[in-house]
């Protein structure tokens, strides 16, 4: 398996623009997680899905953030409109069950100017 | 509210030395604790996961221990190598069914000098 795949790897955009981050989890994994990592706040869980259903989105910072998982092999994290403080590395991770280890993707480095 | 801290923030050791990384958490009611490695510009790689009922886990040169009563976990790396240079993060997961209590520590940046 190729592991968790994220795209794009780098994104530079201007404030106010819409940003869409994509994730393909490891095949067979029932759980998918979106994290954000910044120097100031470290690594934070934003939202997670179980069998394509959002379970907990309490970590989503604002209504500008939304996440979807239309099927077992694809998820998106959208920011609209984007702001400079959204600049961070966004990681996607997946796992078989909620008791198993999570496998992380390489991350998307987002810079909002 | 769970808080996870890691000491030291950075560590530099000569190759071959054994070392210990520390992780502390304020709420002992954790479900499990996990150690990750992060290389610069890369994602996280899981190293060891310790369930709350366990005291330690071992994988190769790595050994992680968990003491819930004292709110501490340690990661022991034996015979360190330059390839071990990375940032090591611990993550404490509280509760039973909710992942909203996964709290990561700030990490320890390790440099192993050849």
Residue B29 pLDDT: 85
CA pseudo-torsion sign A41, A78, A112, A109: positive
How close is the nearest chain B Cα to the Cα of A80, in Å? 23
pLDDT tens figures, B74-111: 999 999 999 999 999 999 987 665 555 678 999 999 99
Lowest mean pLDDT among A19-23, A26-30, A101-105, B77-81: A101-105
Residues of A within 8 A of B51 (CB-CB) are 99
For range A81-101, the mean pLDDT: 90
CB B64 within 8 A of CB B74: yes
pLDDT tens figures, B39-76: 988 889 989 999 889 999 999 999 999 999 999 999 99
Of B79, B98, B53, residue with least CA distance to A48? B98
Identify the residue with better confidence: A33 or B31. A33
Query: Is residue B14 pLDDT above 90, yes or no?
Result: yes
Query: Is residue B4 pLDDT above 90, yes or no?
Result: yes
Q: Which residue of B has its CA nearest to A55?
A: B98
| Nearest-CB residue to B100 (from A45, A99, A103) | A45
**Which residues of B lie inside 8 Å of A (Cβ-Cβ)?**
32, 34, 36, 41-46, 49, 51, 89, 91, 97-100, 102, 104-107
Residue A84 pLDDT: 96
Residue B99 pLDDT: 57
Asked if the Cβ–Cβ distance from B46 to A43 is below 8 Å, we say no
CB A92 within 8 A of CB A23: yes
CB B36 within 8 A of CB B91: yes
Residue A62 pLDDT: 87
For range B24-44, the mean pLDDT: 90
CB A81 within 8 A of CB A16: yes
Q: Which residue of B has its CA nearest to A97?
A: B97
Mean pLDDT for chain A? 93
DSSP 3-state of A16: coil
* Interface test with chain A among B25, B96, B99, by most A beta carbons within 10 Å: B99
Asked if the Cβ–Cβ distance from B89 to A43 is below 8 Å, we say yes
Asked if the Cβ–Cβ distance from B104 to A43 is below 8 Å, we say yes
d(CA A100, CA B94): 14
Query: Is residue A99 pLDDT above 80, yes or no?
Result: no
SS (H, E, C) B14-71: ECCCCEEEEEEECCCCEEEEEEEEECCCCCEEEEEEEECCCCEEEECCEEEEEECCCC
Output the six-digit token pair for B40.
């610069």
Query: Is residue B5 pLDDT above 60, yes or no?
Result: yes
């Amino acid at each position: 398996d190729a592991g968790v795949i994220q795209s794009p790897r780098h994104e530079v955009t201007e404030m106010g623009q819409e940003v869409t981050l994509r994730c393909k989890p490891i095949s067979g994994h029932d759980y998918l997680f979106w994290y954000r990592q910044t120097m100031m706040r470290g690594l934070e869980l934003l939202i997670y899905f179980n069998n394509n259903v959002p379970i907990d989105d309490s970590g989503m910072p604002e209504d500008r953030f939304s996440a979807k998982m239309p099927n077992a092999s694809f998820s998106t994290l959208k920011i609209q409109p984007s702001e400079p403080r959204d600049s961070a590395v966004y990681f996607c991770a997946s796992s078989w069950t909620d008791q198993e280890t999570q496998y992380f993707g390489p991350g998307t480095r987002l810079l909002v100017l | 509210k769970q808080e996870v801290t890691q000491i030291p923030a950075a560590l530099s050791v000569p190759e071959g030395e054994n070392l210990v990384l520390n992780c502390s958490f304020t709420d002992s009611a954790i479900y499990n604790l996990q150690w990750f490695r992060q290389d610069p510009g890369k994602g996280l790689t899981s190293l060891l996961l310790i369930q709350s009922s366990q005291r330690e886990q071992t994988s190769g040169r790595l050994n992680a221990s968990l003491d819930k009563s004292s709110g501490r976990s340690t990661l022991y790396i034996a015979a360190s190598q330059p390839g071990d240079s990375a940032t090591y993060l611990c993550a404490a997961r509280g509760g039973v069914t909710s992942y909203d209590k996964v709290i990561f520590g700030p990490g320890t940046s390790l440099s192993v000098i050849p």
